[in-house]
């Protein structure tokens, strides 16, 4: 748009030359040709944009009246280099030297060319600065988006570490309660029951029975709490990520883990975690892969686990003592699931396991 405005101004500067030289067929035709070439140049590709300006300069050399309107051509040639704009002033200078045009009109044409060159250089400088500003803005925006993505990754990693620490602490508390308080209550219950046997038929037996009932109730509550803590510690996504990261750490094998599941019953979470651990371990022992991808997706009716590597290794030989595949299949089928392991479509080794939700598990 800036160039079009500049060319309109340049054509306006040519009006005094037209007034001094007078209108006629040649001058009118030259003006129309100048306008056509000026705005045709804005429609052409960058490489051929100066062609209309060059053609008009040739026309101005043949038609003296055309030398009055070379300012738009000078504007286009100045975009190539300021020196090229002298080609637009050459027809006017030639017409003045040969006396083919009015000196005043020729001077106005040369002045219009000078103004057009100044406008062209100013516009090019402005557009170049604007382009650089937009480029810098795009670079800053790209860096901003990269920083936001990195910040999200750090926050997700922080949440993951916090969640993992929380689950580990819950599991530790459950073990402590089971191993210490649970055993003490069990021992106390056995002791009270023994005292009841010793004091059978005595008045104290009823009191001992009440104490035994209280201990049994407390023991049941402890068991319930331990199971709840253990189930809360069975965060499927955290367990699978932790298993894969620990297995691949320091091995030179890159891993990618895509988990679209969070929680699952303890039995299912333990099964899928064990399958992921064994499958990744097999990749390390029996494959020359350098990349392993683990995908765990929770569907409305089932959980699906896929482990794929890019190696050329084969499955472990169960006849030689390798029971990994058989163990994984037994675990999955015990929960009513489906298990498959074999060479993938694009090479490598693929382990697939799916386990239905308990309410939809087949009989």
H/E/C letters for each residue in 207-240?
HHHHHHHHHHHHHHHHHHHHHHHHHHCCEHHHHH
pLDDT at 99: 60
Tokens 């280099």 belong to which residue?
81
H/E element, 289: none
Predicted pLDDT at 64? 66
Least Cα distance to 232 among 200, 269, 199, 197 occurs for 269
CB 295 within 8 A of CB 288: no
- Against a cut of 0.75, is the pTM above it? no
Which of 307, 308, 306, 309 is CA-nearest to residue 288? 309
| Contact predicate 94/70, CB 8 Å | no
Whole-number pLDDT of residue 161: 75
Q: What pLDDT does 155 receive?
A: 82
**Residue spans of alpha helices (H) in the chain:** 2-13, 15-21, 25-40, 51-62, 71-80, 86-98, 103-176, 182-198, 204-232, 236-248, 266-286, 324-334
Pair of tokens at residue 22: 């007078």
Supply the pLDDT for residue 266.
Answer: 75
Tens-digit pLDDT string for the chain (363 aa): 667 766 667 666 666 666 666 666 666 676 677 777 766 766 676 677 777 766 666 666 666 666 666 667 676 777 766 666 666 666 666 666 666 666 666 667 677 777 777 777 777 777 788 888 888 999 999 999 989 888 887 887 777 677 667 767 777 777 777 677 777 778 788 888 888 788 787 887 788 788 888 888 887 777 777 666 655 545 677 778 888 888 887 778 888 888 887 677 778 888 888 898 888 888 888 778 888 899 988 888 888 999 998 877 555 544 344 577 888 899 899 999 999 988 876 677 889 999 998 864 444
């Amino acid at each position: 748009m800036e160039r079009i405005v500049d060319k309109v101004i340049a054509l306006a500067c040519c009006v005094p030359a037209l007034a001094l030289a007078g209108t006629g067929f040649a001058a009118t035709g030259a003006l129309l040709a100048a306008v056509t070439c000026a705005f045709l140049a804005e429609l052409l590709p960058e490489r051929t944009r100066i062609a209309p300006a060059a053609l008009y300069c040739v026309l101005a050399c043949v038609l003296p009246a055309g030398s009055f309107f070379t300012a738009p051509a000078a504007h286009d040639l100045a975009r190539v280099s300021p020196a090229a704009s002298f080609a637009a002033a050459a027809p006017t200078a030639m017409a003045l030297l040969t006396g083919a045009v009015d000196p005043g009109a020729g001077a106005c044409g040369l002045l219009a060319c000078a103004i057009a060159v100044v406008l062209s250089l100013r516009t090019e400088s402005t557009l170049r600065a604007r382009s650089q500003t937009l480029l810098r803005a795009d670079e800053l925006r790209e860096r901003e988006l990269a920083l936001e993505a990195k910040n999200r990754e750090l926050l997700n990693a922080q949440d993951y570490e916090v969640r993992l620490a929380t689950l580990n602490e819950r599991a530790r508390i459950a073990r402590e309660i089971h191993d210490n308080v649970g055993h003490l209550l069990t021992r106390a219950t056995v002791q009270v029951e023994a005292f009841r046997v010793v004091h059978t038929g005595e008045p104290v037996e009823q009191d001992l029975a009440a104490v035994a009932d209280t201990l049994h109730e407390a023991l049941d509550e402890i068991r319930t709490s331990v199971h709840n803590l253990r189930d809360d510690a069975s965060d499927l996504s955290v367990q699978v990520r932790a298993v894969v990261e620990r297995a691949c750490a320091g091995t030179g094998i890159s891993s990618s883990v895509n988990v679209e599941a969070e929680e699952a019953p303890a039995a299912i979470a333990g099964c899928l975690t064990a399958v992921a651990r064994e499958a990744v371990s097999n990749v390390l022992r029996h494959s020359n892969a350098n990349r392993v991808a683990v995908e765990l997706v929770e569907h409305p009716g089932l959980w699906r686990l896929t482990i794929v590597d890019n190696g050329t290794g084969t499955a472990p030989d169960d006849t030689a003592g390798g029971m990994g595949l058989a163990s994984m299949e037994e675990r999955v089928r015990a929960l009513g699931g489906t298990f498959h392991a074999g060479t993938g479509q694009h090479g490598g080794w693929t382990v697939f396991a799916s386990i239905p939700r308990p309410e939809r598990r087949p009989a």
